[in-house]
Amino acid sequence: MKSPLCLASSSPRRQQLLRQLGVPFYSKPPTFSELSPEQVTCLSPRELALRNAMGKAFSVWNPGSDPWVLAADTLVVLGAVCLGKPKDLTEARTMLELLSGKTHHVLTALVLVTPSRQIRSLICATEVEFRRLTPPLIESYLQEVPVLDKAGAYAAQEKAEWLIKEVRGSYTNVLGFPIEEVACLLAKGNP
């Protein structure tokens, strides 16, 4: 790699996972305001995640100084309901009640922008089955774990045993950055 990759993210989780690949990179927080499921009801969850990831990538891309930019966006999908980040603890509580005892999908869109402005993208989907959550458990979880910056109002890396019964697919996708797919995308992009 001639120059380091620019990760369009301020997420410590994404930075930590990318470090595991041994890829030289630096982070730039995106200036793009994420679109919420309520704002764009005409888009499928996959299209919404992809549009958000693309918006994040291009909000930091500068052909002179950022030849390669990688961005990601994660959504939680339960049936036809798409859950982004909760606005407040009331919405977070509602999301956890909705997910209780059910299986949902975690979708992460990855976008790699090349120096020639080519776009390479992929979407990773993982099934997550939740335990039945009692109201006291939900309250304890919301007190212990900061969830307002997490799609679906939960963090798989924090007290997952309270919520998650089973993960089918990429566990790192549930963390918001499917590292296996990131490695594939970077190998194909060949930064």
- Kindly report, residue by residue over 128-182, the tens digit of the pLDDT: 999 999 999 999 999 999 999 888 999 888 898 999 999 999 999 999 899 999 9
Per-residue burial over 31-66, b = 16 or more CB atoms within 10 Å of its CB, e = otherwise:
ebebbeeeeeeebebbebbbbbbbbbbbbbbeeeeb
Q: Which domain holds residue 70?
A: 5-189
Q: Distance (Å, rounded) from C-alpha 153 to C-alpha 142?
A: 9
Q: 1 vs 118, which has greater pLDDT?
A: 118
CATH classification at residue 49:
3.90.950.10
Residues 6+ apart with CB under 8 A from 120: 111, 112, 114, 185, 188, 189
Catalytic residues: 73
- Taking the CA of residue 116 as centre, how many other CA atoms within 13 Å lie in the half-sphere pointing to its CB? 5
Q: How many domains does the chain have?
A: 1
What is the DSSP code (8-state) at residue 136? H
* Total-model pTM: 0.89
Cα–Cα distances in angstroms (integers) from residue 11 to residues 7, 28, 65, in the given order: 10, 10, 21
